[in-house]
Amino acid sequence: MDLRITHLYPDLMCIYGDRGNVLALAQRARWRGIDVEVRDHEAGDELDPDWADLYFFGGGQDQGQDVVSRDLQGPNGDALRRSLAAGAAVLSVCGGYQLLGREYIPAEGPAIPGLGVLDVTTRAGTKRFVNNLLAEAPQGTLIGFENHSGRTYLGPAARPLATVLVGHGNNGEDKTEGAVQGKIVGTYCHGSVLPKNPWLADLLLSWAIERRHGPVELSPLDDSDELAAQRAAAEVARTRT
């Protein structure tokens, strides 16, 4: 069994150590005997919609996001839409999460169109959310670190990834964190998020493997170290509220 992962725009959209999510996905697959190939995709490269089973799309500075937004308005955006419609999965963090949505509305100037594969809209905020983020999802605890000024609001086609316990999440108002729509996941959790949230990594892996190999039940791993790190981070979040 094999798995193909594409890291989208790592030169422009990879801050706060988010490349660790790709490393975590690849390692958790390899521990299960799955062959993994990882490719980087940069702005201007031609995206093959049939190659990847799983995408990672991280966060970046405003200048980098502008370049990526323009790249996604052309053939590469169409290719990514086709790939996701055909069953590929994606984890998007912060700026990547925003760019998969319908649009980003800045404080001044015209709205910036997103890829439109997530039913979310993001508006610029006046205050930056910088905080440990602790939330509860149906599958378990979600822990990470948020650093964003955008306020993201979900439409009816998307559901929250988790409910905020500590921190701000999507917008600081409705207690939602992240979004899920089909096999598309968005979150504001940096960290990297997946090493301390193995349930989310395995959910993405199972979705991705299903694209070419059909439904699969992943063999269990010993996550005692990962869960200990999660508990420690959650305690820090609670005590620093």
Residue 14 pLDDT more than 90? no
Query: ω into residue 149 within 30 of 0, thus cis?
Result: no
Residue 110 pLDDT more than 90? no
Q: Where are the domains of the chain?
A: 2-239
| pLDDT for the residue 241 | 62
| pLDDT for the residue 66 | 85
| 2-239 is classed CATH 3.50.40.10 | no
| pLDDT for the residue 58 | 95
Active site residue 94: yes
Residue 222 pLDDT more than 70? yes
Classified as helix, coil or strand, 80 is: helix
Residue 15 pLDDT more than 90? no
Residue 190 pLDDT more than 90? yes
Question: In this structure, what is the dihedral angle of CA atoms 41, 5, 204, 88, given to the nearest 10 degrees?
Answer: 70
DSSP class of residue 235 equals H
How sure is the predictor about 78, in pLDDT bands with cuts at 50, 70 and 90? very high
Among residues 7, 41, 94, 168, the one annotated as catalytic is 94
Quote the pTM value: 0.96
Please, are residues 176 and 158 in contact by the beta-carbon 8 Å criterion? no
Say what percent of the chain tops pLDDT 70. Answer: 100
How sure is the predictor about 70, in pLDDT bands with cuts at 50, 70 and 90? very high
| pLDDT for the residue 108 | 86
Tell me the C-alpha distance between 84 and 86, whole Å: 5
Residue 74: other Cβ atoms inside 10 A: 10
- DSSP characters over 43-68: TTSPP-TTT-SEEEE----HHHHHHH
CA distances from 82 to 13, 78, 132, 211 (A): 22, 6, 35, 13
